[in-house]
Structure 1
Amino acid sequence: METDAHQKEISVAFINDKSPVLDEICKSLATSGTEILFRSEKIKDGLFQLSALKTLPKACVIDLDFYDRNVLAQLQELRTQYPAIKLIAHSDIDEEKTVKALLDLGFSGYVLLSDEIKKAIEIISNGKKYLSAGIMHILNSHLQ
């Protein structure tokens, strides 16, 4: 179980998260001591906001928008510019191609359900990976 002191050390940024569900998750995280550094609607905006920070977030939760054809290139740019930030994908897409692409980019977490975000942040902040149960079978085939 995480202590309050440890929880307060965690800072998070949210990208592409225009969602009432994620609004509530951000409120819950802030109430529990997690520092929300910023929220942006697009990856490019997030890159700009990251560049203005003196201290980078421990994690960045990205609500994936695959309607943007350049999303993987933008995620690669984010990973290249900020390799120390733990990236967590939030999406309802559990296709093998998508999961593998994000794992190959170095994502530390992939959550299918919004209520898993807090748990994923805590786990990846401790240097581990977090994947929703619904995509574990994809990870197993990815590692073989």
Structure 2
Amino acid sequence: MITIIMAEDHQMLIDGVKSFFEYDDNINIIGTVNNGEDLVKLVSLKKPKMVITDIRMPRMDGIEATSIIKKQFPNINVLAMTMFDQPDAIKQMLDAGATGYILKNSGIKMLSKAIVAVSSGETFFDPNVAFNFMNSYIDDNITIGKTDKVVLSNREKEILHLIANGKTSKEIASDLFLAKTTIDTHRKNMIRKLNLSSGSELVKYAIDKKYQF
């Protein structure tokens, strides 16, 4: 049995996850909290097999809470479930001791896969988080989740729409008040996410999908 304590400041998300696993014979959510301080206290009291935590929470964030938990209970595995896909956020959670990182918009099936992997000692990463950063961490004991649905961020969709309208990276950067290098990075990430081979394929994809974003 995989016993879990979940920390998340949006109660609706907690209720949804609990409801999904309510009749699962292998996964048991034995406690939930809405902030990092209560997470540390409840983990000390109940000593679960693993923790699922958001990063941004009141009173104590998930990074600090993870660091404290891993120092006190190194055998408890931590899975981050968040909206942050920035490399800095990923690195801070890894440095704190998390061995899994998924995005909230990846869905409950991805969460199920992550729980099984992380609870068994593997390291699991959502396929939609910063692969360029992750490449330096990948080894034989790391699982990359697979999904049939490509998840683009709102910013990526915005840039894709501008690409479809014939805008260059320089023009997009000017329109969005961003650096050209930032737009170039978004282009590379979209090429990787969409399993394309070049910038020209990205342009073609953007035109084909122009009215879907």
**Pick aligned residue for 1:139 from 129, 134, 137:** 134
Q: Cα 1:84–1:17, aligned 2, differ >3 Å: closer, same or farther?
A: farther
Structure 1 segment 1-144 matched on structure 2, within 5 A: 9-33=1-25, 34-53=27-46, 56-65=47-56, 71-112=62-103, 113-115=106-108, 116-135=110-129, 136-142=131-137
Backbone CA RMSD of aligned residues:
2.1
Q: Cα 1:66–1:138, aligned 2, differ >3 Å: closer, same or farther?
A: farther
Residue by residue over 1:65-84, the C-alpha shift from the partner in whole angstroms, topping out at 9 and shown as x without a partner, is: 16767653333112211211
1:110 Cα deviation (Å)? Answer: 0.4
* Bigger Cα Rg: 2
Report SS of the residue matched to 2:80.
strand
1:32 Cα deviation (Å)? Answer: 1.1
Identity %: 21
Q: Cα 1:68–1:128, aligned 2, differ >3 Å: closer, same or farther?
A: same
1:48 Cα deviation (Å)? Answer: 1.3
> Hey, what's the Cα distance between the residues in 2 that align with 1:50 and 1:67?
17
Considering Cα pairs closer than 8 Å and 6+ residues apart, tell me whether 1 or 2 has the greater RCO. Answer: 1
Q: Identify unmatched segments of 5+ residues in structure 2.
A: 139-213
Q: Identify unmatched segments of 5+ residues in structure 1.
A: 1-8
> Hey, what's the Cα distance between the residues in 2 that align with 1:114 and 1:15?
17
> Hey, what's the Cα distance between the residues in 2 that align with 1:70 and 1:63?
8
Report the more deviating stretch, 40-49 or 87-96: 40-49
Number of residues of Structure 1 aligned to a counterpart in Structure 2 = 133
1:51 Cα deviation (Å)? Answer: 2.1
1:42 Cα deviation (Å)? Answer: 1.0
Report the more deviating stretch, 67-76 or 109-118: 67-76
Q: Cα 1:20–1:71, aligned 2, differ >3 Å: closer, same or farther?
A: closer
Residue by residue over 1:22-78, the C-alpha shift from the partner in whole angstroms, topping out at 9 and shown as x without a partner, is: 31111111211221110011111111112222xx21110002216767653333112
